[in-house]
């Protein structure tokens, strides 16, 4: 497995009851966590909190290395933001309602997939564009036959229209280096401000909101210009030619495999409420069967989103720097909608395509079930930013009505094949309350601070990773925390 420190690529794409309710470990019934813990040797226990890919990879690697580890997860399932829905659909169809794509550079994910015999299959690329009410094809755009109805765009491409307007800052990185004060100062500027300064018309800023919708689920006025520039100077940014993969049979197989390997060392339905720590170790206060229970360990790994961490009571509290970053770390909004249709009309001859880029509230609409047999199929949508926020305020049936109407504007025959659908708005999920982390204005040093150990407490999670906002980043952070613990604690 490649070590996190070898990675230099830029980022890719988160109640307390009264004290009297706290139950001591020795005092509770045989069906509680404490009965499990008293059966294992626990004087050198490491407690991992959060069973997303960050916490799972960390707990798995520590377990493999012979450490006494226990993973506490708030939900009744592993995987966190990796969430494959199966039950709502017919014919064994499934859809990724959380993390979906595995990039070619996602070595941490790919290494685990190889190890656990999970296949990553390529997804189909964008072939349709529906913007400002116009039906365009990607082929037409690439050949220059079709042009985007947005002022200031270049022909032959969809993504990366902003690059031309930020070229002088990309050159600045090349000339002065990424760590130069001139380049680092760009962190004070928003993406919107930079595009305006570079002469981009409003249309380009609007289009960037859509083309960048999956990389960052926020709006250009809230994103740091520094990261847009670095992404273009150091890496090839996402384009219509980017090849993306998905785990065949569902991404949830990866977290489930890790969880299965951990066996009874992962304990579900145990949300952390408070964390106390001192030089002797940590005390995690969790909810168990409606009661508060304390568990002690020598160390702890907090692998929950910063958006959740900010509501957990920490005693005596983390450093001022860390607390500030936990409170202010930016996240966007994201909603996915899966729609089951009786027939795959998007594959018909006259169709605009099967993976459509739009400026409608749905933003991206694509055939998800390409690797699953028909005749039925699932169209999946990815909505972010202000549109996700607006849709998120609506009831399920109203969200679905908008989704169906949008689809019928794109494919007129859609309504006759409609069967059912379901939405997932991550900002209303109690164990995330957000989408994924982003580089907000003035937040350039946040990641390092969020990742930094504080006493016996270690930190993981995509928000602490170089490859933030990704499954790969979550695993990268889990492996980094494992290495830090291995250096600090000997088995
Ligand atoms: C809609 C969407 C689309 C995405 N698309 C992609 C993509 O295409 N490709 C990609 O690589 N990545 C994608 N991502 C990002 C990716 O899902 C995340 O970066 C990654 O899964 C985060 O893993 P994590 O372990 O850091 O956090 P999480 O997966 O959020 O795990 C944290 C865990 O902590 C648990 N928890 C929370 N609070 C507590 C508590 N108090 N006590 C105990 N446990 C708690 C949660 O239940 C959760 O299981 C997407 C994310 C979303 C939401």
Domains 4-79+252-329+440-488 and 84-125+244-251+332-428 share a fold: no
Q: How far apart, in whole angstroms, are the C-alpha atoms of residue 169 and residue 173? A: 6
Rg of the chain in Å (alpha carbons): 23
Longest Cα–Cα distance of the chain, Å, equals 75
Q: How far is the CA of 459 from the centre of ligand 1 (A)?
A: 14
Q: Is 250 in the pocket of ligand 1 (CB under 6 A)?
A: no
Q: Is the peptide bond before 114 cis (omega within 30 degrees of 0)?
A: no
Amino acid 14: pLDDT: 25
The DSSP letter of residue 482 is: H
Ligand 1 pocket test, pick from 12, 99, 312, 458 with the greatest ligand atom count within 8 Å of Cβ, gives 99
Helices 253-262 and 53-64: angle between axes, nearest 10 degrees: 40
Q: How far is the CA of 462 from the centre of ligand 1 (A)?
A: 8
Q: How far apart, in whole angstroms, are the C-alpha atoms of residue 265 and residue 259? A: 9
Over the stretch 227-240, which tens digit does the pLDDT of each residue have?
A: 899 988 876 667 88
Query: How is the chain split into domains, by residue range?
Result: 4-79+252-329+440-488, 84-125+244-251+332-428, 153-234
Q: Is 422 in the pocket of ligand 1 (CB under 6 A)?
A: no
Q: Is the distance from CB of 302 to CB of 310 less than 8 angstroms? A: no
Q: Whose CA is nearest to atom 51 of ligand 1?
A: 99
Over the stretch 126-141, which tens digit does the pLDDT of each residue have?
A: 999 999 999 999 999 9
Which atom of ligand 1 is least distant from the CA of 431? 37
- Locus of tokens 């580890």: 69
Start-to-end CA span in the chain (Å): 21
Stretches where the chain sits below pLDDT 70 are 1-43, 235-237
Amino acid 35: pLDDT: 57
Domain 4-79+252-329+440-488 carries which CATH code? 3.50.50.60
Q: Whose CA is nearest to atom 52 of ligand 1?
A: 98
In 3D space, the residue among 244, 245, 208, 203 whose CA is nearest the CA of residue 223 turns out to be 208
Q: How far apart, in whole angstroms, are the C-alpha atoms of residue 284 and residue 274? A: 6
Q: Whose CA is nearest to atom 26 of ligand 1?
A: 461
Domain 84-125+244-251+332-428 carries which CATH code? 3.90.660.10
């Amino acid at each position: 497995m490649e070590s996190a420190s070898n990675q230099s690529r830029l980022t890719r794409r988160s109640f307390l009851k009264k004290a009297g309710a706290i139950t001591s470990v020795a005092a509770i019934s045989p069906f509680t966590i404490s009965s499990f813990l008293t059966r294992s040797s626990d004087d050198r226990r490491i407690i991992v909190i959060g069973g997303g890919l960050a916490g799972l990879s960390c707990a798995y690697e520590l377990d493999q290395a012979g450490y006494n580890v226990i993973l506490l997860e708030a939900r009744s399932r592993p995987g966190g933001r990796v969430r494959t829905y199966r039950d709502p659909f017919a014919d064994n169809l499934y859809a990724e309602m959380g993390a979906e794509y595995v990039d070619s550079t996602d070595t941490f994910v790919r290494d685990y997939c190889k190890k656990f015999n999970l296949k990553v299959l390529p997804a189909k690329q964008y072939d349709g564009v529906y913007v400002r009410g116009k039906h365009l094809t990607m082929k037409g755009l690439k050949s220059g036959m079709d042009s985007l109805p947005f002022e200031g765009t270049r022909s032959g491409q969809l993504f990366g229209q902003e690059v031309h307007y930020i070229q002088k800052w990309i050159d600045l990185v090349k000339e002065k280096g990424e760590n130069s004060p001139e380049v680092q100062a760009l962190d004070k500027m928003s993406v919107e401000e930079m595009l305006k300064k570079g002469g981009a018309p409003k249309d380009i800023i609007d289009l960037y909101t859509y083309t960048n919708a999956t990389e960052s689920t926020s709006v250009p006025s809230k994103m740091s210009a520094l990261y847009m520039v670095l992404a273009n100077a150091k890496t090839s940014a996402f384009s219509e030619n980017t090849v993306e993969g998905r785990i065949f049979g569902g991404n949830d197989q990866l977290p489930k495999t890790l969880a299965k390997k951990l066996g009874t060392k992962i304990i579900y339905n145990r949300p952390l409420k408070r964390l106390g720590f001192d030089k002797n170790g940590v005390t995690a206060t969790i909810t168990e069967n409606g009661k508060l229970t304390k568990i002690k360990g020598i160390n702890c790994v907090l692998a929950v989103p910063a958006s959740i961490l900010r509501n957990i009571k920490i005693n005596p509290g983390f450093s001022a720097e860390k607390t500030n970053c936990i409170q202010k770390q930016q996240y966007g909004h994201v909603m996915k909608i899966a729609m089951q249709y009786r027939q795959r009309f998007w594959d018909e001859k006259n169709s605009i395509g099967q993976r459509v880029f739009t400026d409608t509230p749905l933003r991206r609409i694509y055939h998800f079930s390409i690797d699953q047999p028909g005749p039925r199929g699932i169209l999946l949508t990815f909505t972010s930013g202000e549109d996700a926020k607006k849709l998120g305020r609506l009831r399920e049936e109203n969200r679905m009505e908008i989704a169906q109407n949008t689809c019928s504007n794109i494919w007129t025959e859609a309504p006759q094949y409609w069967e059912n659908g379901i939405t997932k708005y991550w900002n209303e999920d109690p164990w995330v309350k957000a989408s994924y982390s982003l580089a907000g204005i003035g937040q350039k040093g946040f990641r390092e601070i969020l990742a930094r150990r504080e006493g016996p407490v270690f930190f993981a999670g995509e928000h602490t990773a170089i490859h933030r906002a990704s499954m790969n980043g979550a695993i990268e952070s889990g492996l980094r925390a494992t290495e830090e613990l291995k250096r600090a604690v000997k088995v």
